[in-house]
Amino acid sequence: MGSAQEQNGGVSSSTVLNQGTATACKVSKAKKKICCACPETKKLRDECIVEHGEVACAKWIEAHKICLRAEGFNV
């Protein structure tokens, strides 16, 4: 029986795992619902709106939109 690297065609098992993880992240990123994306900016935006009103929270609203766009949503 050969080493793990030999069994994977000269590629170490950690490299295979890293590639698999990266692929899984891309898949899960695409399947993410808009309501579940960017929880940090969403929380800050929502708390600000409740306490100060929408007009006063433009910077948090825009920060959340930027985050959503980075996640692939068209907002």
Three-state DSSP class for residue 74: coil
Question: Closest Cα to residue 49, out of 34, 36, 33, 62?
Answer: 62
Tell me the whole-structure pTM to 2 decimals.
0.58
Domains of the chain (ranges plus CATH)?
1-31 (no CATH), 33-75 (1.10.287.1130)
Per-residue pLDDT of the chain (75 residues; tens, 9 = 90+): 554 444 444 544 443 334 443 333 343 455 789 999 999 999 999 999 999 999 999 999 999 999 999 999 999
Are 1 and 23 contacting, i.e. CB atoms less than 8 angstroms apart? no
Asked whether the CA dihedral 67, 68, 70, 75 is positive or negative, the reply is: negative
36 known ligand binder: yes
35 known ligand binder: yes
